[in-house]
């Protein structure tokens, strides 16, 4: 076997991430023909098919291709580490990093976290992708994202997880609700009132499980995939909701006001954490992002996070 080209592996990974030769070429600032040739040479060299070409639908990795994505990323990470250690020790951190963020975390924590990281490492180019949990899991496996900041919702065992914070669910009420000034609220007390559900893949199952665990059948009135839409519906008096994230402002987009209140019953909280594919060597820039993210949540001035910070889960520790 001839020596594999690291450049060809880079072109292959970019095509896998974009699911398109044309889009990969655009990102790499080269011709589509160069990407196609690199992938064809790689398939010939390895004697396997890496992609299934789908007319009008882009490219899809074969099962063998998914394995090669993980191996190629690991190999390029080791090459990147070698280059940094050999020629750039002591220099500023540089490179590109693709990070996915759970949609609700974006405006509450991730934007500020990213701003501070970019000020600390101005030579790092971070590509962000705001997704739901299903998109995050499939994107990590497919090589579209290197890391994700998300919740611990139905994470398969072959992923690696680092806990950043533990955030309990809270009831969200209109500011003029009769219980808005209570210290705590029971879900059983609210069971007959209209529920506004945060309705994203995996998220909806989590919130409904809170009711089922208490043998409550909620009065589901509205649902939305948009975090701020849920808060605005509550603010307009159309019902109550349950959310784990508490923005700094009690005002919604349309100016109505809401209250987030602790729940009387002992319910499962959500963990916020860094997620990556297991058994893949992490590049120096990815390690730096994970380290800073942990520092950010440890030092966060959000009382909710400080009070709830917890160690990482046993058996799913991320290499840092």
Q: How confident is the model at residue 213 (pLDDT cuts 50, 70, 90)?
A: very high
- The mean per-residue pLDDT over the stretch 78-101 comes to 71
All structural domains of the chain with their residue ranges: 6-89, 95-166+270-301, 169-262
One fold for 6-89 and 95-166+270-301: no
Predicted local confidence at residue 282, as pLDDT: 82
**Options 3.30.70.100, 3.20.140.10, 1.10.10.10, 3.30.360.10; which CATH number does 6-89 get?**
1.10.10.10
Q: Is the pLDDT of residue 88 over 60?
A: no
Q: What is the pTM of this model?
A: 0.70
pLDDT, position 162:
94
CATH of domain 169-262: 3.40.190.10
Tens of pLDDT, residue by residue over 289-319, are: 999 999 999 887 544 444 334 434 433 444 3
DSSP element (H, E) containing 159: strand 159-167
- Superfamily the domain 95-166+270-301 falls into: Periplasmic binding protein-like II (3.40.190.10)
Strands 194-198 vs 219-224: parallel, antiparallel or unpaired = parallel
Three-state SS for 92? coil
Question: So what's the pLDDT on residue 77?
Answer: 79
Reference 68, options 136, 156, 139, 9; nearest CA is 9
Distance separating alpha carbons of residues 241 and 223, to the nearest angstrom: 10
Would you state the pLDDT for residue 93? 76
What are the CA-CA distances from residue 277 to residues 5, 85, 155, 156, 282 (Å)? 23, 24, 11, 10, 10
- Contact 16/143 with Cβ under 8 angstroms? yes
Q: Which two tokens stand for residue 80?
A: 């990147």
The pLDDT mean for the chain works out to: 87
Residue given tokens 């975390």 in the structure block: 105
Residue 320 in this model has a pLDDT that exceeds 70: no
Dihedral pair phi/psi, residue 95, rounded to 5°: 125, 180
Contact 8, 46 (CB under 8 A): no
- DSSP label of 265: S
Q: pLDDT-based confidence at 4, cuts 50/70/90?
A: confident
Element (H, E) at 148: strand 147-151
Percent share of the chain, pLDDT over 70: 89
Give percent of the chain above pLDDT 90: 54
Mean pLDDT of 18-43: 88
The pLDDT of 83-112, averaged and rounded, is 78
Residue 26 sits at the vertex; the CA angle it makes with 99 and 57, to the nearest 5 degrees, is 80
Q: What is the pLDDT of residues 250-289, one digit of tens each?
A: 899 999 999 999 999 999 999 999 999 987 778 889 999 9
């Amino acid at each position: 076997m001839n020596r594999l080209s690291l450049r060809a592996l880079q072109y292959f990974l970019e095509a896998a991430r974009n699911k398109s030769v044309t889009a990969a070429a655009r990102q790499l600032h080269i011709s589509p023909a160069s990407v196609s040739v690199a992938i064809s040479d790689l398939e010939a060299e390895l004697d396997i098919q890496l992609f299934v070409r789908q007319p009008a639908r882009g490219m899809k990795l074969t099962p063998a291709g998914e394995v090669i994505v993980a191996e190629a990323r690991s190999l390029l990470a080791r090459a990147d580490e070698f280059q940094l250690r050999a020629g750039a020790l002591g220099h500023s951190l540089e490179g590109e990093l693709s990070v996915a963020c759970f949609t609700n975390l974006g405006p509450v924590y991730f934007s500020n976290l990213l701003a501070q990281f970019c000020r600390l490492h101005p030579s790092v180019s971070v590509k962000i992708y705001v997704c739901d949990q299903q998109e995050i899991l499939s994107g990590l496996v497919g090589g579209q994202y290197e890391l994700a900041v998300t919740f611990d919702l139905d994470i398969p065992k072959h992923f690696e997880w680092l806990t950043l914070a533990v955030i309990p669910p809270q009831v969200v009420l209109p500011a003029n609700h009769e219980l808005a000034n209570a210290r705590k609220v029971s879900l059983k007390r609210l069971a007959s009132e209209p529920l506004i559900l945060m309705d994203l893949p995996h998220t909806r199952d989590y919130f409904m499980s809170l009711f089922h665990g208490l043998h409550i059948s909620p009065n589901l009135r509205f649902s939305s995939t948009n975090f701020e839409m849920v808060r605005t519906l509550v603010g307009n008096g159309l019902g109550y909701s349950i959310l784990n994230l508490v923005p700094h402002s009690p005002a919604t987009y349309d100016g109505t006001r809401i209250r987030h209140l602790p729940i009387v019953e002992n319910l499962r909280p959500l963990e916020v954490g860094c997620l990556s594919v297991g058994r893949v060597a992490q590049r120096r820039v990815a390690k730096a992002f994970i380290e800073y993210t942990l520092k950010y949540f440890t030092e966060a001035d959000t009382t909710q996070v400080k009070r709830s910070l917890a160690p990482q889960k046993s058996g799913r520790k991320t290499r840092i």
